[in-house]
Every structure is written in structure tokens, then in C-alpha cells.
Structure 1
Amino acid sequence: MNLEIIAHRGFSAIAPENTLAAFSRAIARGANSIEFDIQLSADSVPVIFHDATLERITGVSGKVRETSLSQLQTLNAGKWFGDEFSAEKIPTLTEALAILKNVDKFLYFDVKPHCEWSDAEVADFVKTLRGAGIQEKCVITSFSEKFLAQVRRLDGDLAIGHIVANLEAYKTQLSQAITHRDNLISSLYRVLLENPALIQETRNQGVDIVAWTVDDPADMQKLIDLGITRIVTNCLIG
């Protein structure tokens, strides 16, 4: 069985999440794939950042979607984690792809549901991925069915995954994945441990499973024993 270790927001146990430092360290330590969060600046530039608001990471108030790229790039995205990361900025997707394209297996884009994208913004996003020549490594995941539908319309070849955090959502989104012939369910790992029959049921429909976010080695082993091969983790890397 080929286990795929997916670094959550990069190697976020040893470097600030969603930064170039976290991505570089994940690849250096042998993570097979990287998961990261993406949303838009006020001027429609895709940036890599988890929260809707800036405060937890940068110490500055305000919303990412209401802040221009030039303003975002003045903020510090690493000092909260440690002084040695005080040079880290909020990366744009284009900046990050220079590192991320070196990943061995897949890039999991977690497109934040609090950020609305116009069709033109989604088209630019897809064009960026095509321009980087990495479409085959990209898995576009989101809680937002609207965003997934926009991507599906624009590029039928991009892998698409539905993110779920409870059993009810799992069943609903599995049905959606089957209907649209999408590739993946990305599930909170406890849902799988508590409902192991879902695993074979999902695979029987031609849909694979990613489990997130697993930081306990015992839980990881339980998932592996159940046949899960794609696991998102903050720290169980290398």
C-alpha cells in the first residue's frame, strides 16, 4: 500500500502555516503532497491564507478579501510562530507555485468558502494552473459547492474534491461527487473512524478518500488498517 502523506498548510508543526517556509520544509522532509488554503485579495489576486480575517496570523485587523495585495504584502505572516520566520509574507499563488510545483504527488487547494469568486476570477485561477503546467498535480477542494461547480464548467479535467466534517455532509457530498463524477471526498478523519463502512461504500462508487487532519500516530495507524492511504497531517511527516 502506497501511503500518501499530505502536509497540512505545509509542514505547519515546524514552520508558520501557509508560508513558503512551511512548503519548502514539507518537501525537504519528504511529504508526498501539500494542502494549503486559498482565497482572494480585494484586487482579485489569489493568496494563500486560511482565515477570513488577518488578526490571528498578522496581528492586524481586517478581512483578506477587503485588503489589496499591496497592503497584504506589507504584513508579517511568520513572526507569530517564531522570530526566525519574521521575513515570511502572505504568499500569492503564483509565488508559492514556484515551490509547490516540486511536490512529488498532489497539491490540494482548499478554497475557502467565505470567499466568493466571480466566473472571471475562477477563469484566471484555472489559467494560472494551466500556465504553470501542473494541472495533473492539482486537486481543487472546497466546502463551497458553488466554487466547485464554477471550476467544473471551466475545466472538466481538473480533479475535484468535496470537503466534509460530519456524517450527514459526507453522505450528501458523496452523492454530489457521484453525480458530477468528481474524484474525491476529503473527510474529517473521525467521521471515517466512527463509520468505517463509508470507506468501501465510497470506493465502490469510484470516489477516493482523503482523511484530515491526523496528528496522533495511533489514529493514523487505525486509518491505515482501514485502508485509508491519503492522510493530511501537521506533524507526522518524514
Structure 2
Amino acid sequence: MKIYAHRGYSGAYPENTMLAFQKAHSAGCDGIELDVQLTKDGEVVIIHDETVDRTTDCTGRVYDYTLEELKTCNAAAHWKDGKTKLTIPTFEEYCAWVASTDLITNIELKTGVIYYPELEAKTLAFVKRYHLEHRVLFSSFNHLSLSAIKKLDAAMPCGALVPETGLVNAGYCAHSFGFEYYHPAYCTVDKAAVDECHRYQVGINVWTVNSMQALEDCYAWGCDGIFTNYPEVCVAYVKAKQ
């Protein structure tokens, strides 16, 4: 079972920052999950929310900032005493770093609220520029974005993200549309759901696994991967079980 650090080591460091990614790597995880959106001037940046309010000292939509303007926001503003200064990373900045590691990257295309023109093509272009084709998978709540990735490169692995309502017959659905993975919330998963996915050769990666009960269940059910804010704990558990 692969351990993906959810927005980096977000349980202990500011989410979706280079610090959180580097700390996740040091914790020994298999991969990193991150979120991409576009700036006003069309640059691919890593941030979860469509607005900057929750994670920075700025306000407003990501899409209303140029990259230069966005770089003035402090992505660590709400961490500890607020004195640490971290910038919102560009996806290219991340790619340049992760290319020197053996990490897998789950790239979530944040197109479910704002459909960013060419986000899929621009993100994939960076993946190829840094020769990461065999160490990435794409996911999105907007499954049309996954279809767009497949249209650009049919070999790119894709995971169908679904909300906490879950999806019955998810393995059949993912297989039917050519998606290699299904990404549900832990609260919607059981062994039968995992087995149904595996019958269709669809992998199942579960979010967000932040309790020992969830970790134990996912391992026992045979899940292919989990997304967690606490990768160090999960890595230690999996190693102990092997």
C-alpha cells in the first residue's frame, strides 16, 4: 500500500509548500499529492483552495492574481507564530525538485469550481519537460479534466476523485472510461468496494487517512494507496506489517 503525503506533510507543515513536500520526502513516503490551479497570467501554481484566504495572509481568488502578485502572499501565515515566510510554489518549481527524487506525484486538477483554460495541457507539458511521465498520476473531481488528459496522452494514469457521497460500481465506471484508479473518501469504502475495483483492474487510493483505524482498515482491505497528512506514521505502520 503506497503512502501519499496529502498536500505534502500537511499535518506538521504548511500545506502545498516546498517545505511540506521536502519534509514528506524525508519521512519516507512513496509519493506526494498536490493541487494545481492557474494564475491570472496563466501560470500553473500549487494551492488547494480557489481562494488564498485560508492558507495565506492575502484574500481573493487565485485566478485574480498574477504570479508575481501571488508570490507576495505568505503561504505559512497561519503556521505556528506566523513569522515563517513561504511562497506559493509554481508547479515547475516542484517538478524541478521532485525530478531529483524517486517520488510519485498525484496531481489533482482543481477544475471543479473554476474551469481553468488549458490547465491540463500546461500541467502535462511540465511533467514531460522534466521527464516525470512514469512517476505521476492525475486526479480530479471534474472527470472531464481526466478525459482531457487522456486525449492529450492516453498513457497518463488517471484517478477518478469522488466526494464523500461515494460511488457505487466505481470499478466498473472507472474501467469503462479508461481510468486506472478510483479515489474515494475513507468514509465510503469497505472491503467489498475495494474488491469490486480490483475485479476491473482498477486501483483504489483512499483519502484522507488520518486515524489509526482508517489506516488499519485500508491496509486490511488491500487498498493500493492512501493519502494522509501524517506520512511518517503511515510509513512506519506499513513497514512494520511487511
Q: With structure 1 as the length reference, what TM-score do the two structures score?
A: 0.91
> 1:30–1:53: structure 2 CA closer, same or farther, 3 Å change rule?
same
Distance 1:173 1:63 in 2: 33
Further displaced range: 104-113 or 140-149: 104-113
> 1:83–1:95: structure 2 CA closer, same or farther, 3 Å change rule?
farther
The one-letter amino acid of 1:127's match is A
Residue in 2 that maps onto 1:226: 221
Distance 2:37 2:210 in 1: 25
SS at match of 1:47: strand
Q: Could you list the runs of 5+ residues in structure 2 that have no partner in the other structure?
A: 236-242
Distance 2:193 2:11 in 1: 30
Q: Is residue 183 from structure 1 mapped to residue 180 from structure 2 by the alignment?
A: yes
> 1:170–1:100: structure 2 CA closer, same or farther, 3 Å change rule?
farther
The one-letter amino acid of 2:122's match is D
> 1:22–1:85: structure 2 CA closer, same or farther, 3 Å change rule?
farther
Distance 2:134 2:83 in 1: 31
Distance 1:14 1:67 in 2: 27
1:40-189 equivalences in 2 (<5 Å): 40-83=38-81, 86-112=84-110, 113-118=112-117, 120-166=118-164, 169-171=166-168, 174-189=171-186
Give the C-alpha shift of residue 72 in structure 1. 0.2
SS at match of 1:221: helix
The one-letter amino acid of 1:75's match is C
1:78-135 Cα offsets, whole Å, 9 max, x none, are: 12112477221000000111223344342001111223132x4432322111011001
Q: Could you list the runs of 5+ residues in structure 1 that have no partner in the other structure?
A: none
Distance 1:28 1:154 in 2: 33
Further displaced range: 8-17 or 225-234: 225-234
SS at match of 1:58: coil
Give the C-alpha shift of residue 236 in structure 1. 4.2
The one-letter amino acid of 1:114's match is V
The one-letter amino acid of 1:115's match is I
SS at match of 2:151: helix
Q: 1:209 aligns with which of 188, 198, 204?
A: 204
Give the C-alpha shift of residue 182 in structure 1. 1.3
Identity over aligned pairs, percent:
27
The one-letter amino acid of 2:116's match is W
Distance 2:224 2:174 in 1: 19
Further displaced range: 98-107 or 213-222: 98-107
Distance 2:89 2:39 in 1: 11
1:18-61 Cα offsets, whole Å, 9 max, x none, are: 00000000001111110011111111111000111111111322
Given that 1:16 and 1:85 are in contact with CA atoms closer than 8 Å, whether structure 2 keeps it comes out as no
Distance 2:141 2:211 in 1: 25
Distance 2:226 2:120 in 1: 27
RMSD, matched Cα: 1.8
Residue in 1 that maps onto 2:32: 34
Distance 2:187 2:216 in 1: 13
Q: With structure 2 as the length reference, what TM-score do the two structures score?
A: 0.89
SS at match of 2:168: helix
Given that 2:109 and 2:138 are in contact with CA atoms closer than 8 Å, whether structure 1 keeps it comes out as yes
The one-letter amino acid of 1:215's match is N
The one-letter amino acid of 1:217's match is M
